[in-house]
Structure 1
Amino acid sequence: MTEPSATPDKKKSHGWIRTAVDFGGLLAFFIGYLVTHSLVAAAWWLVAGSAVALVVGYVAEKRLAPMPLISGVLALVFGSLTVFFKDPIFLKLKPTITMTLFAVILLGGLVAKKNVLKMLMGSELVMSDAVWRTFTLRYGLFFLAIAILNEIVWRNFDEGVWATFKVFGILGLTVLFSLSQAPLIMRGMKESEAPVDPEEATAAPPIIE
């Protein structure tokens, strides 16, 4: 008799770890900004929070998923540039560059007939290829839209507004968009004749800040 690959308790604990990896740097940045009221000073918190989150995620799971890893590394890079040059422009550009990078990866993959999102999430969601293409296209366009929106906000509003948008705006829009994809996911799982799990039906790529 084979052992189950993961018990519910292990899955739950891993879920908390993934959440910490996804939100560690973002939460540290927000706390830092509330304390210092300075984007440059908050960048120190972002760098430290992102580094700790990546280390904790790797130690706990012995691996890091590609998207949180790329996002975390970019947070370290742009946070460090902000601290070194004492210029918050690098921090403001980080969401634009991150979102654009993921949009290019997803949409470019579709053009090359390689579904990157399916490669990353295929073990969590069993859907038809047609639905995977639609799912990936929607996320690629969503990431591109967030990149454009970030440019509009930081160029037209003060630092406090942008910091709030970075933490709550991008996060809120991502959660709402992910929830809106549940009907598509359920349809794709039914087409593939896979059992529909309500938790899987709301699955989405990691939060990318």
Structure 2
Amino acid sequence: MTDQKRLPPLLKLALELGPLALFFVANAYADRFGFAEGQRIFAATALFIGATVLALTVSYGLLRKLPIMPMVSGVVVVVFGGLTLFLQDETFIKLKPTIVNTMFGAILLGGLYFRKPLLEIVLDSVFELTEEGWRKLTLRWALFFFALAALNEIVWRTQTTDFWVSFKVFGIMPLTIAFALAQTPLLLRHEVKKTEEV
């Protein structure tokens, strides 16, 4: 088994959450830099795209590979953020979480259909679980991603842009962390016990 390079946890967190934090800050304060009220989301989107590309570049430079989920999310940020800026229509950036979460949910369910719990690949061997454990965990995450997609649709279609940006930063992340922590009993129950080699 080859040793795989891993980023230090704080750096990994900064690379994954940094672009999102900049998106929130730019949307909140872009007017202080001369952007009109209705243009703040576009300034924030441009910064979000740049920060996402930079984070992926740094990640690749350090690991010589790109993690699957940040890479897929990054591609969607660039494409839908680009459409947002090109067409001057904030709908596209608001659709990004819906599309990414639906895509992740569908891919995970598709893997289960073909008896391949893809979550094991996505999590990069962080856990060692039984086959049943991977199946159950994959199903739970797939359903959670669909729930996040539906929640994003409800929020962006019924609330203001500023509320949606705050929800994206301060709603989705805590919900995801809480859901991940709630899976601890399943992880412990289906963990593959390692036998010590003499």
Same fold (TM over 0.5): yes
The letter of the residue matching 1:193 is K
1:85 to 79, 84, 87: 87
Q: Distance in 2 between matches of 1:32 and 1:86?
A: 17
> Quick check: 1:74 aligned with 2:76?
yes
The letter of the residue matching 1:35 is Y
Query: Aligned runs of 1:39-54 on 2, under 5 Å?
Result: 39-54=41-56
Q: Distance in 1 between matches of 2:88 and 2:138?
A: 37
Q: Tell me the matched-pair count.
A: 186
Q: Post-superposition shift, 1:160?
A: 1.1
Q: Post-superposition shift, 1:41?
A: 1.7
Residue in structure 2 matched with residue 137 of structure 1 by the alignment: 139
Residue in structure 1 matched with residue 33 of structure 2 by the alignment: none
Q: Distance in 2 between matches of 1:54 and 1:41?
A: 20
Q: Distance in 1 between matches of 2:151 and 2:173?
A: 13
For structure 2, the residue ranges without an aligned partner over 5 or more in a row are 31-36
The letter of the residue matching 1:62 is R
The letter of the residue matching 1:46 is F
Query: Aligned runs of 1:1-209 on 2, under 5 Å?
Result: 5=3, 14-36=8-30, 38-121=40-123, 123-189=125-191, 192-194=192-194
Structure 2 length normalisation: TM-score? 0.88
The letter of the residue matching 1:194 is K
Residue in structure 2 matched with residue 207 of structure 1 by the alignment: none
Q: Distance in 2 between matches of 1:106 and 1:34?
A: 35
Judging changes above 3 Å, is the alpha-carbon distance between structure 1 residues 53 and 18 closer, same or farther for their aligned structure 2 residues? same
Q: Distance in 1 between matches of 2:59 and 2:112?
A: 29
The letter of the residue matching 1:56 is V
1:65-114 per-position Cα deviation (integer Å, ceiling 9, x unaligned): 11111111111111111111111000110000000000000011101111
Q: Distance in 1 between matches of 2:130 and 2:124?
A: 11
Query: Does the 8 Å contact 1:32/1:45 carry over to 2?
Result: yes
Q: Distance in 2 between matches of 1:122 and 1:69?
A: 14
Q: Secondary structure at the match of 1:60?
A: helix
CA RMSD, 1 decimal = 1.8
Structure 1 length normalisation: TM-score? 0.83
Q: Percent identity?
A: 40
Query: Does the 8 Å contact 1:153/1:162 carry over to 2?
Result: yes
Q: Post-superposition shift, 1:5?
A: 4.4
Q: Distance in 1 between matches of 2:124 and 2:94?
A: 33
1:131-175 per-position Cα deviation (integer Å, ceiling 9, x unaligned): 110000000000000000000001111111111111111111001
